[in-house]
Amino acid sequence: MLKKLRPTIGIIDSGIGGISILNALKAKFKGGNYIYFADNLNMPYGNKSAKFLKNRVNNLINYLKTNYLTDYIFIACNTASSVLKLADADVIKMQFDTNYTYLVTPLTKQTLQNINVVADKTLAKLIEKHIFNTKALNRIIKYHVNLHKLNAMDCFVLGCTHYELVYDLFKKYCPNSKIIKNSDFILKDFNMNFETNETSILFLQSKSSKSYIQKLKSLVED
């Protein structure tokens, strides 16, 4: 009997946000072969046009499929997920549920209908920039929580993977709200069968920068 192959999972995001998905996948499955594509050249996706994003993400999907033989691809970006119409079963994108209120980027807001959303222009970019500066991050999240009056809500969903990276800070400033990570929904239903506990992660970026790769690597949880 031949052994089952270790699946290759591609993760696409504009920057560091998708790391939250990578960490969640790593926690759920013991091993795996991950290709993380940070499109840092086009960071942030939140203020790009829908046409541009559709084209770009489709190109990246093809690139990962042909060059890295991916078995699954996660569109680890709520903005990109909201503009894409996909037919391929092996490409998994973020979903939105009309029962919840979402904190999202402006482009995601434009594409969502019948969903309660709070849009923020700059937060994703600020998190990307100050991810390792705890003091600054505290100030930023506190400001945005007050701006959008998030702490007055009973429940809201973090509709951008960048926000998920600072889940703990949202929790800190909204102690009485139920905060949900949008990636929890898709990961709950996602399963793969393989027999290995080896993990490999390859980081790719569209704008070459050694320090950026280091930044991505240091966000990966053991």
C-alpha–C-alpha distance, residues 13 and 60, integer Å: 10
Q: Is residue 7 within the footprint of another protein (CB under 8 A)?
A: yes
Q: Is residue 205 within the footprint of another protein (CB under 8 A)?
A: no
Amino acid (1-letter code) at residue 219: L
Q: Is residue 200 within the footprint of another protein (CB under 8 A)?
A: yes
Q: Map residues 12-51 to x or -, x wherever contact with another protein holds by CB under 8 A.
A: ---------------------x------------------
C-alpha–C-alpha distance, residues 157 and 182, integer Å: 6
Q: Is residue 3 within the footprint of another protein (CB under 8 A)?
A: yes
Q: Is residue 6 within the footprint of another protein (CB under 8 A)?
A: yes
Question: Is residue 139 within 8 Å of 101, Cβ to Cβ?
Answer: no
Amino acid (1-letter code) at residue 161: T
Out of 23, 58, 196, 206, the residue judged to bind another protein by CB under 8 A: 196
Tokens of 54: 């559709």
Q: Within positions 157 to 186, which residues make up the interface with another protein, using CB under 8 A?
A: none
In the three-class reduction of DSSP (H, G, I as helix; E, B as strand; rest coil), residue 111 is classed as: helix
Q: How far is CA 171 from CA 164, 165, 175, in A?
A: 11, 12, 5
Residue 8 beta carbon to another protein: minimum distance, rounded to whole angstroms? 6
Residue 11 beta carbon to another protein: minimum distance, rounded to whole angstroms? 15
Out of 66, 114, 191, 193, the residue judged to bind another protein by CB under 8 A: 66
Tokens of 42: 């086009």
Q: Which helix (H) or strand (E) holds 124?
A: helix 123-130
Out of 41, 47, 49, 69, the residue judged to bind another protein by CB under 8 A: 69
Binding site for another protein (CB under 8 A): 2-3, 5-8, 33, 66-69, 71, 90, 196, 198, 200, 202
